[in-house]
Amino acid sequence: MKIIRFVYLDQIYYGELHGDEVILWSDAPWAGGLKLQKKVLFKEVNLLSPCQPGKIIAIAINYPGATGLKKEMVEPLVFFKPPSSVIGHNQSIVSPFSDTPTWGECELGIVVAEKLSPTIKVKPQNPIFGYTIANDVSAENVQGWDHHLARSKGADTFCALGPWIDTNFQPDSQKIQGYHNDSILREGRLSDRLWKESDLLTWLSSWITLNPGDVILTGTPKRVRDRQYLDNGDYFKCTIDGLGELINPYKYLHV
C-alpha cells in the first residue's frame, strides 16, 4: 500500500492511496492508526511529507564513486537532519543562504516500523515499514568546514520526503536519478549501495535507538556531470523506478 499524509478541509490526515481515491486513517499506521470508513478524492488533497520522523539519520559515502570513499572504510559516514527540515512533494526548499552554493541529492529513504535499540535482544521480524524518496538538500559550509555538519544539512526545508511511503516496494536494481531542472546530475542503481538495509539497521541500532516513523536516508549515487548549484526559481527532481518522483522548487528566504 501507499501511505500519504495530507491536508483536507484544513485538517491533516494520513491516508492509503488507491488510484484516484484515498482511504483515511486515524493516525500513522506505525503509531497505532486505524483505517476509517471514509474516502476522499486524491485530487482534492494537498500532500505533505508522508511522515513526521522524530529523527532523520543520513548515510553518506554509500555508493561507488562517492566523494571521500576509501578502501579502508569499515563503516559509512553518518549525520543527522532535524525534523524541522522535513517538507513534502511540491513544497518549496527555502534557503536562508542566498550567497552559499546549495544542491540536491536524490536518495532512497527507509521508514522504520518498530523500535530497534542496543538493549533489545530479540529484533523485530519486519523492522521496515516502507520506503520513500528523499532529497538530502545540502549547502557549502563556512571556512572550509565539512558540509556534513548541521549548518549545511539541517536548515528548515532541507529534507524533502515523498510523495508517499510504499510498503510493497523492494529495493533491488532499480534506477535512481537526480535532476537539476531538466539536467540529470546523479544516476545509479539501488543495488550499487555499499551498505544495504539489513546491515544498516543492525549497525545503527547497535548504538542508537530507532523509533517507529524514524527515517534513514541511504546515500546518493555519484554525479554524472559537474555539480550544479540551485538558484532562485530552479527545481530539483528525484526519481526511483517503481517508487515515483519527488519534485521541489527552490527559492531564497530573502531575495
Q: What is the mean pLDDT of each run of 10 residues along the chain (255 residues)?
A: 96 96 96 94 97 97 76 85 98 93 97 93 86 96 81 95 98 98 96 93 95 97 92 97 98 82
User: Domain extents for the chain?
Assistant: 1-48, 49-252
Model pTM?
0.95
Report the pLDDT value the prediction gives residue 64, as an integer from 0 to 100. Answer: 86
Q: What b/e readout covers 28-51, taking b as 16+ CB neighbours within 10 angstroms?
A: bbbeeeeeeeeebebeebebbbbb
* Helix H or strand E segment including 151: helix 150-153
Cα end-to-end distance, the chain, whole Å = 41
Report the pLDDT value the prediction gives residue 150, as an integer from 0 to 100. Answer: 83
* Helix H or strand E segment including 10: none
Report the pLDDT value the prediction gives residue 112, as an integer from 0 to 100. Answer: 97
* CB proximity list for 185: less than 8 A, separation 6 or greater: 103, 104, 178, 179, 223, 224, 225, 227, 228
Report the pLDDT value the prediction gives residue 67, as an integer from 0 to 100. Answer: 66
Phi first, then psi: give them for residue 68, nearest 5 degrees. 95, -5
Q: Is the dihedral of CA 220, 224, 226, 231 positive or negative?
A: negative
Report the pLDDT value the prediction gives residue 101, as an integer from 0 to 100. Answer: 93
Closest C-alpha among 37, 39, 36 to residue 17: 39
Report the pLDDT value the prediction gives residue 66, as an integer from 0 to 100. Answer: 66
Return the CATH architecture of domain 49-252. Answer: Alpha-Beta Complex (3.90)
1-48 — its CATH code?
A: 2.30.30.370
- Maximal C-alpha separation, the chain: 56
Report the pLDDT value the prediction gives residue 124, as an integer from 0 to 100. Answer: 83
Q: 36 by DSSP, 3-state: which?
A: strand
